[in-house]
Amino acid sequence: MDTYWVPGVNHLGTHGRWAFAEFTDVWQMQVDFAARVEAEFGKMIDQLLSPRTAHEICGQEESA
């Protein structure tokens, strides 16, 4: 799922950004989920604030 499905959905770009996480400890799940969301949100903000071209942001390659 995290190898094919999530990258495929993210590449498509019409259903938002997806991530995958597996939680195994029911007592630790809430803390782990909050940490994972915070980390992924931080990555998203870092990507938006990094200097890139409009083509990179939109996922389009520049044509020569």
Which positions ≥6 away from 23 have C-beta within 8 Å? 29, 32, 33
Instruction: Look at residue 63 in the predicted model and tell me its pLDDT.
Output: 52
Alpha helices, DSSP H, located in the chain: 5-12, 29-49, 54-58
pLDDT given for residue 57 in this prediction = 62
| pLDDT at position 48 | 84
pLDDT at 31: 95
Q: Where are the domains of the chain?
A: 21-59
| Backbone dihedral angles phi then psi of residue 12, each to the nearest 5 degrees | -60, -45
Cβ partners under 8 Å of residue 32, min gap 6: 21, 23, 25
The Cα–Cα gap between 39 and 42 comes to 5
pLDDT by residue for the chain (64 residues), tens digit each? 667 777 888 888 888 777 778 889 999 999 999 999 999 899 888 888 887 665 666 666 555 4
Predicted confidence at residue 44, as pLDDT, reads 84
